[in-house]
Structure 1
Amino acid sequence: MKLIVGLGNPGIEYQFTPHNAGFLAVDRIAEDCGVVLSNRRGRALTAKARLAGHEVLLAKPETYMNLSGISVAALLQELELPVPTEDLIVLYDELALPLGTIRIRERGSANGHNGVKSISGVLGTEEWLRIRIGVGKPALADGREIKAGGKDYLLSPFRKQELAVLDEVLDRARGAVETVLTEGVGAAMNKFNRRLDDPEAGANGSKEK
């Protein structure tokens, strides 16, 4: 059983905010698998599904972001998965990456993300697979970066045009999870860890037309 966790905050007021990109990604996977995250276990909303030929448990912690690790640890224990484990994939928002990008990493520091900090703290290791979904503002035409405004920005609803970009990114995040499951982490990183201006950075790692 693979455990796929999206990070976010419960509550309708947070649903379409940048900080809930992980929740939205797991919802997209659930939708494509024809399931609804409605079961409560391990302090999370969960659903069993079959994805890319693998049995998976999709989960959205209900602990609020800064206590995400409590839920992840409980689910790992319930599924009898060791720590560290290759059977855990966590999806979450990354302010340091521009909206429209994703990055896959096998380990790493929290970089100021309270959900990541909580998971690494509770598990006692930074060795866990994460798919970071960029929610930062894209650079200006002259290359200058726009500071997104931190917490206020992360907890404010996406604008309509941003939701359109996010919609495509959520499909790419789902594709990244599927590639990890079918081809391994190395292949997934090679396909999806590309710059937006890379001509081969298509929706599923294929060339754009």
Structure 2
Amino acid sequence: MMLGASSLLNGLRSPLPSAHNLRSFGRGTKLMLLSPPLSASASSSTSDQSKSKPWLLVGLGNPGKMYTGTRHNVSFEMIDAIAEAEGISVSTIRFKSIVWKKVLSCFSVMLAKPQTFMNASGESVGSIVSYFHVPLNQVVLMYDDLDLPFAKLRLLPKGGHGGHNGMKSVINHLKGSRDFPRLRIGIGRPPGKMDPASFVLRPFNKKEREELDFALQRGLEAIRILLLEGLNKSATFVNSSQPSELMNR
């Protein structure tokens, strides 16, 4: 999906909604939670940089109802939350992915959810990047991470795959390059001796659902900052914010 500065970037900063309101993600509620535009000079600088270079925000997951609401699909939820916040519902199937595209103002942003199943995600991502000539520093991969505490986010400018099969596939289809940003969404470690493969397919309990909703909220704000002010400021914001801090505001 391609979003523009007039929507994603021009919302009003407001207090975080209650956990009850956050539960409405995906149910037709538009959340106006993004910050005011930058000053004219900063906005102009950002728009000049992004005018001809699209951004690609990708959530890795598995297609199908049986995987909906599971840990392995939290990044699909992140993509859905961005679309929901902006009221964008028109999508197409291209490059083995659900893709939303919209051009508004000077920003061109695509949202994608590969439908190849997790382990073959790179087939879709590689094709989109190649066809639209997306610079790798404007390809943001979002995925679940067993090594991060539950609902903790971590934004990094580049890195390895960390054993994540979806990221392995993406890196392989980007000719081995690891130089693209990634937003890791913590799902925590499996309890006891549970097989990680089984754990990632488990749904969330009520408390986890509320914590995850706040993490998605924080992720939305991180994306706004990333597009307007750059990766460093976005990483500073998201990497230092804790779910407990947000829930206590």
**Shorter-chain-normalised TM-score: which range?**
0.7 to 0.9
Equivalent of 2:143 in 92, 96, 102: 92
Helix, strand or coil for the counterpart of 2:187?
Answer: strand
- Structure 1 residues 52 and 175: alpha-carbon distance in aligned structure 2, compared to 1, 3 A threshold: farther
Residue of structure 2 in register with 1:59 after alignment: 112
What is the TM-score normalised by the length of structure 2?
0.72
Residue of structure 2 in register with 1:187 after alignment: 233
- Contact between 1:137 and 1:146, CA under 8 Å: does it hold in 2? no
- Structure 1 residues 149 and 136: alpha-carbon distance in aligned structure 2, compared to 1, 3 A threshold: farther
Q: Report which stretch shifted further, 5-14 or 156-165.
A: 156-165
Helix, strand or coil for the counterpart of 1:91?
Answer: strand
Q: Which has the higher strand share?
A: 1
Residue by residue, what CA displacement relative to the aligned partner does 1:45-96 show, whole Å, maximum 9, x if unpaired? 01124689622111000000001111001111121224xx222111111111
Helix, strand or coil for the counterpart of 1:90?
Answer: strand
Helix, strand or coil for the counterpart of 1:26?
Answer: helix
- Structure 1 residues 160 and 129: alpha-carbon distance in aligned structure 2, compared to 1, 3 A threshold: same
- Contact between 2:156 and 2:182, CA under 8 Å: does it hold in 1? yes
Matches within 5 A, 1:1-209: 1-36=54-89, 38-49=91-102, 54-82=107-135, 85-123=136-174, 124-136=176-188, 149-194=195-240, 196=242, 202=246, 209=249
- Unmatched 5+ residue regions in structure 2? 1-53
- Structure 1 residues 182 and 67: alpha-carbon distance in aligned structure 2, compared to 1, 3 A threshold: same
What is the TM-score normalised by the length of structure 1?
0.85
- Contact between 2:56 and 2:134, CA under 8 Å: does it hold in 1? no
Larger radius of gyration between Structure 1 and Structure 2: 2
- Structure 1 residues 96 and 147: alpha-carbon distance in aligned structure 2, compared to 1, 3 A threshold: farther
- Contact between 2:114 and 2:125, CA under 8 Å: does it hold in 1? yes
Q: CA deviation at 1:159?
A: 1.6
Residue by residue, what CA displacement relative to the aligned partner does 1:171-195 show, whole Å, maximum 9, x if unpaired? 1111111111111011111111126
- Contact between 2:74 and 2:185, CA under 8 Å: does it hold in 1? yes
- Structure 1 residues 181 and 100: alpha-carbon distance in aligned structure 2, compared to 1, 3 A threshold: same
Residue of structure 1 in register with 2:32 after alignment: none
- Structure 1 residues 195 and 181: alpha-carbon distance in aligned structure 2, compared to 1, 3 A threshold: closer
Helix, strand or coil for the counterpart of 2:143?
Answer: strand
Residue by residue, what CA displacement relative to the aligned partner does 1:21-44 show, whole Å, maximum 9, x if unpaired? 110000000011111263011110
- In the alignment of these two chains, the number of paired residues is 195
Looking at structure 1, the residues matched to 194 and 70 of structure 2 have their Cα atoms a distance apart, in angstroms, of: 13
Q: Report which stretch shifted further, 16-25 or 35-44.
A: 35-44
Looking at structure 2, the residues matched to 110 and 148 of structure 1 have their Cα atoms a distance apart, in angstroms, of: 22
Residue of structure 2 in register with 1:141 after alignment: none
Percent identity of equivalent pairs: 36
- Unmatched 5+ residue regions in structure 1? 139-144
- Structure 1 residues 31 and 50: alpha-carbon distance in aligned structure 2, compared to 1, 3 A threshold: farther
